Amino acid sequence: MPGPEQCPDQPLRRSAPAVVTALPTVAIGLFLGEAVLTPTGNVADIAGLVGAVWLLAGGAWGLGAHFRQRDAFAEREIRRVRAEERLRIAREMHDIVSHNLSLIAVQAGVANHIAEQRPAEAREALRGIEEASRSALLEMRGMLGVLRSAEPLPHEPVPGLAALRELADRAIAAGVSVDLEITGAGHPPAGVQLAVYRIVQESLTNVVEHAAPARCTVRVDVGADAVGVHVVDDGTRAGRPGDGHGLAGMRERVKMYDGEFTAEPRPGGGFGVTARLPCGKGERG
């Protein structure tokens, strides 16, 4: 929906009802003046003309109130859409930056620690840093291109279920043992696949940041009606993870599809994230 700055003819549309109503009113006023000044004019004619003028004035006020209400509703809708878009962009930026920078920090620490004793492993860590940096740059450039351009950009494929293996490999390179299993033969929409990708990405990022080295199990069940995600690790954390941007972002993604989401410590240790995203629901809002 275009914003007010994109509608230069909006004042003209607002004034059109007043102009349309004013022209007959002026005409009646002229006839009224003629009736008063003409000897043939009588009280009944004058009273009828005055009533017509009041009727038109009331209609003009009613039309003006209608268009003012419509414009106020349109402005509220524009503000709502903009707020949702800012939230969506902030969520994507957080996921991109948090995941890749976490991997870079961990692998840089590994490379620095073993550079002299085990140079081959240090070079492997540096390759992981290179890959994470390149991935982050590509995603950031794509998003910044959308924000800077007023023209529609060519559609780029969004990360989906096929990219989960790459996420697992990156976490493995950062010191987390990941067991990834994708079952089912469903074909969820691209939006649901992106949500699943981001949930797994954020879950693995939390393990890398707060629990590595650890073992982590990722199960994705792709059904005809819904996609289930289950990510469990056995890592030790200093305390219960806070309800930060990462967990809040996962909840928001699931909520868009009227899904179910839980994230909590496991009784035997570690942490678990479970989500269910229906495939038949579009994003609300």
Residue 213: pLDDT band (50, 70, 90) is confident
Whole-number pLDDT of residue 94: 66
pLDDT mean over 137-151: 63
**Taking a C-beta distance cutoff of 8 angstroms, is the pair 104, 137 a contact?**
no
Whole-number pLDDT of residue 59: 74
Task: State both tokens at 97.
Answer: 């930056």
Q: How far is CA 109 from the centre of its chain?
A: 34
Choice between 281 and 51, residue whose per-residue pLDDT is larger:
51
Task: State both tokens at 268.
Answer: 């035997």
What are the residues whose beta carbons fall under 8 Å from the beta carbon of 73, sequence distance 6 or more?
none
Look over the chain and give the mean of its residue pLDDT values, rounded to a whole number. Answer: 75
**Taking a C-beta distance cutoff of 8 angstroms, is the pair 171, 132 a contact?**
no
Residue 46: pLDDT band (50, 70, 90) is low
What span, in angstroms and rounded, lies between the C-alpha atoms of 46 and 278? 70
What span, in angstroms and rounded, lies between the C-alpha atoms of 168 and 181? 10
Across 107-222, the runs of DSSP E, i.e. the strands, are: 176-183, 214-222
Integer Rg of the chain from CA: 31
pLDDT mean over 203-225: 90
Model confidence at 273: pLDDT above 90: yes
Longest dimension (CA), the chain: 117
Choice between 111 and 43, residue whose per-residue pLDDT is larger:
111
Would the pTM of this model clear 0.95, i.e. be above it? Answer: no
Q: Kindly state the percentage of the chain with pLDDT values over 70.
A: 62
Whole-number pLDDT of residue 263: 94
Whole-number pLDDT of residue 133: 77
